[in-house]
Amino acid sequence: MENADLFPLAFKSPRQRQEFYSPKLDARLFWIIGLIALWVSRKHGLAPELTDVYRTGEEQRRIYPNEPTRRSVHQFWRGCDIVARGLNAAAHAEIRDFVNRLFHYGKPGHETCIYHDVGKGWHLHVQVK
Ligand SMILES: [Zn+2]
């Protein structure tokens, strides 16, 4: 079995697949994403799609052109974006709450899992400190 078959997980492109299985990705994040994939698969019968893993400084500035000094956990291999296409906001909120009950970010005012849209569509942003 190849690594790629470990979880019921789809990837936006080969880049996201390569980054997800990179040893640079924070190991906690790897397993949280895997758990989300298993949850979505067992409960809803579909594979969620990993849309973003690593982000370069240039890519970060393109998303937040008005905040050139703003940094993201994606630049440090500690953030992933995932979406279960076909599931509504309530189903995504349920996944978010499930993740946040199990994994505490460890910084007041911050959550491990957020459901948001910053201009590229609604998705779950998952992060570790
Ligand atoms: Zn994100």
Q: How far is the CA of 1 from the centre of ligand 1 (A)?
A: 29
Q: What is the 76 CA–ligand 1 centroid distance (Å)? A: 12
Q: What is the mean pLDDT of residues 75-103?
A: 97
**Lowest-pLDDT range of 20-29, 56-65, 91-100:** 56-65
pLDDT at 103 over 90: yes
First-residue to last-residue Cα distance in the chain: 31
Domain definitions of the chain by residue range: 3-127
- Is 3.90.1150.10 the CATH classification of the domain at 3-127? no
| Confidence at residue 4, expressed as pLDDT on a 0 to 100 scale | 54
CB 53 within 8 A of CB 74: yes
- HSE (side-chain half, CA atoms, 13 Å) at 102: 14
Under 8 Å CB-to-CB from 63, ≥6 apart: which residues?
A: 55, 118, 119, 120
The model's pLDDT over 1-51, given as tens digits with 9 standing for 90+, comes to: 455 578 999 999 999 999 999 999 999 999 999 999 999 999 999 999 999
Token duo for residue 101:
């009950």
If you measure from the C-alpha of residue 92 to the centroid of ligand 1, how many angstroms do you get, rounded to a whole number? 15
